[in-house]
Amino acid sequence: MTKWLDSQGIDEDVVVSTRIRLARNIEKYKFPNLIDMEEADKITEDILNALMEVEEKYLFYRNRDLDQFERNSFVEKHLISPNLSEKVDYGSFFLRKDEKSTIMINEEDHIRIQVLLAGLDLEEGWKVCSAIDDELEKSIKFAFHERFGYLTACPTNVGTGLRASVMLHLPALSVSGQMNNIMEGLRKMGLTVRGLYGEGSKALGNLYQISNQTSIGEKEEDVIKKINKIILQIIARERNTREHILEKKGIQAEDKVFRSLGILNYSRVMSMVEAMSHLSNVKFGTDMGLIDKIESKEIVKLMLDIQPASIQKYQKGEKDSDHMIQTDVLRGQTLREKLKILEG
Amino acid sequence: MTKWLDSQGIDEDVVVSTRIRLARNIEKYKFPNLIDMEEADKITEDILNALMEVEEKYLFYRNRDLDQFERNSFVEKHLISPNLSEKVDYGSFFLRKDEKSTIMINEEDHIRIQVLLAGLDLEEGWKVCSAIDDELEKSIKFAFHERFGYLTACPTNVGTGLRASVMLHLPALSVSGQMNNIMEGLRKMGLTVRGLYGEGSKALGNLYQISNQTSIGEKEEDVIKKINKIILQIIARERNTREHILEKKGIQAEDKVFRSLGILNYSRVMSMVEAMSHLSNVKFGTDMGLIDKIESKEIVKLMLDIQPASIQKYQKGEKDSDHMIQTDVLRGQTLREKLKILEG
């Protein structure tokens, strides 16, 4: 499902993934929300030309050549944004063959470079992003303001256009009630903490996404370094708390892990919220060596797989409706089947 | 473990077992609480002589020839009472080779005849009890009062000395909140309703024991008929409620059943109260055809197996102590191992 996750990442017992995103716009065109079809195609053409030399590393897709199902599957694999998938006529994207980077065209900005890596790898992510940025800049003149920096459709991205985010699995800090404090501290340092699906979404499965809040007034390398340093501190604290839990309440922690595995293996109706909570417990178990039959990364994949392609769509769904129950029944079935394979 | 359970019983989807007990005392001796060793041995001798003709059907055990562990294992199999097992010097018993009946000597009364059958089988139980009673009466003169009937150590047993009890599994009536009403009605009809382990114990695992409260003023056959009629009504009501639950909330009921099976299969710490509740759900699942890999009777055996030999001893145990946790860990392990075998 998710190729980019397959490679070995750093600090993967705590860090699920690193994502770097650069927003760029071409000076001579209006922002995507103001363009027409003709202009959208010209933008796409310019970018195709700019990337000609590195083309063989990528697959190129135009949204209009894909059906709804195909577009959704790219979203589900986190390779393109839900926003891009909705730009049926204007949108297109380059996908690197190893699926580690995507260049989205006519999303919120003309160009969104995205790099996704397993584990903690901010510097590598930045390097890849920056190389693509350099490649584009050879032939494209970006919208740039001497005082503000790169110009973007949304003011929060003005400046470097950089968003660096790291997804962490923090079961021990969550269960021991330390997360509120940590989130407060991160906010004071200009970082944002969100649940798996961005703004306002709850931290399902104890997955937290930490990223820089603004991209103005700081150099890219400094932002990357700052976030990296903070993440390393959180990793250490999470690991300490895990050890502490296993020392003090080992058998109870093991019990919780295996009960979750049992419920996932046997239940017939499973909501997304409950599934994420059990998967989080199981991931804790695999990372701490309590479960040895299952690889931790496989649990991460399940966590990502069961996410609805669009959280908005999910949240709008009526609760307790027959449709909801059918979805929960299907989710239960999928989880049972996948775990049966993983447990061997 | 429990031979008497192995035979096919009637209405076993609701009725776990039928137990008939007759209390008798020999006229020429004092009640067991007043006798000395010499008298105890004389009583035993009289009964041995009386049963000489049917002896080959039985195994005879003197408590003093058994060690604590052996005595406990008879208690755990429900073949003798905890009370008899404590009479280390005075107690002895005949056990029929198919384990369906026991004749306990010097328990609360000189003689306690007990018949245990799988499913609902009050008439057969009474027939077996009565035949043993007749055999004994050929050579023994029982303590008998013209107006009161058979005399016993405890006044509640005076009269026929008969206690007929039926153990029912009533998950649907329990979950739908009908049990309080039913218990109230049964009490008005002179019947007692108790949990698995008798007086005051909660109905663990939705197992209810229904029996006659007194044994005075009614003929044995009438008591048996009356209880049988009432039990048949409760069975019908339980079955209707089960069907209703499956019709209205089929997938939720199935989910509950399989979650319990999953938790039993995976948990590392399991209290007796929780285990009984999950086993009850699983038994419901096997009886309703939701689980087909496991036989319902095997779940009943697990329910009986995990009972502590003496509920008093169990209730006295300190909660949250290390010993409690060790027991719960061991119980979890035993259940996992046994279920693994049952699921194949």
pLDDT at A45 > cutoff 60: yes
pLDDT in tens, B185-207: 999 988 988 876 555 556 789 99
CA dist., res. B68 & res. A335, Å (int): 48
Closest CA to A216 of A128, A266, A147: A147
Closest CA to B54 of B9, B141, B113, B7: B113
Q: Select from B263, B268, B325 the Cβ nearest to the Cβ of A263.
A: B263
Q: Select from A258, A267, A329 the Cβ nearest to the Cβ of B259.
A: A267
Is the Cβ–Cβ distance between A279 and A303 less than 8 Å? yes
pLDDT value, residue B331 = 85
pLDDT value, residue A312 = 44
Phi, psi of A199 (to 5 degrees): -25, 125
Mean pLDDT of A288-303: 90
More confident residue, A343 or A183: A183
Tell me if chain A has a CB within 8 Å of the CB of B265. yes
Is the Cβ–Cβ distance between A158 and A109 less than 8 Å? no
Helices A220-266 and A179-188 pack at an angle, to 10 degrees, of 160
pLDDT in tens, A49-80: 998 888 889 999 999 999 988 898 888 778 89
Tell me if chain B has a CB within 8 Å of the CB of A314. no
Q: Select from A252, A265, A269 the Cβ nearest to the Cβ of B255.
A: A269
Residue B323 in tokens? 């010993």
Mean pLDDT by runs of 10 across the 344 residues of chain B is 75 94 94 90 92 87 92 85 90 92 95 94 94 93 92 90 94 92 90 71 83 83 93 97 93 95 93 91 95 90 73 50 77 86 78
Residue B159 in tokens? 């009269």
pLDDT band at A311 (very low <50, low <70, confident <90, very high): very low
Inspect the interface and report whether the beta carbons of B258 and A268 lie closer than 8 Å: yes
pLDDT value, residue B201 = 52
More confident residue, A204 or A141: A141
**Among chain B residues, CA nearest to A257:** B267
More confident residue, A188 or B344: A188
Q: What is the ipTM of this complex?
A: 0.81
Tell me if chain B has a CB within 8 Å of the CB of A148. no
pLDDT value, residue A338 = 86
CA dist., res. B294 & res. B289, Å (int): 10
pLDDT value, residue B319 = 53
More confident residue, B320 or A326: A326
pLDDT value, residue B56 = 86
pLDDT in tens, A102-145: 999 999 999 999 999 999 999 999 999 999 999 999 999 999 99
**B chain contacts of residue A268, beta-carbon cutoff 8 Å:** 251, 254-255, 258-259
**Would you call A206 helix, strand, or coil by DSSP?**
helix
**A chain contacts of residue B269, beta-carbon cutoff 8 Å:** 251-252, 255
DSSP letter string over B217-244? SS-HHHHHHHHHHHHHHHHHHHHHHHHH
**B chain contacts of residue A263, beta-carbon cutoff 8 Å:** 259, 262-263, 266
Give the CA angle between residues B106, B107, B108 to the nearest 5°. Answer: 115
Phi, psi of B101 (to 5 degrees): -140, 150
Residue A196 in tokens? 């798996």
Burial of B272 from C-beta contacts in 10 A (0-12 / 13-18 / 19+)? middle
Closest CA to B191 of B154, B221, B228: B228
| Closest chain B C-alpha to A77 CA, distance in angstroms | 29
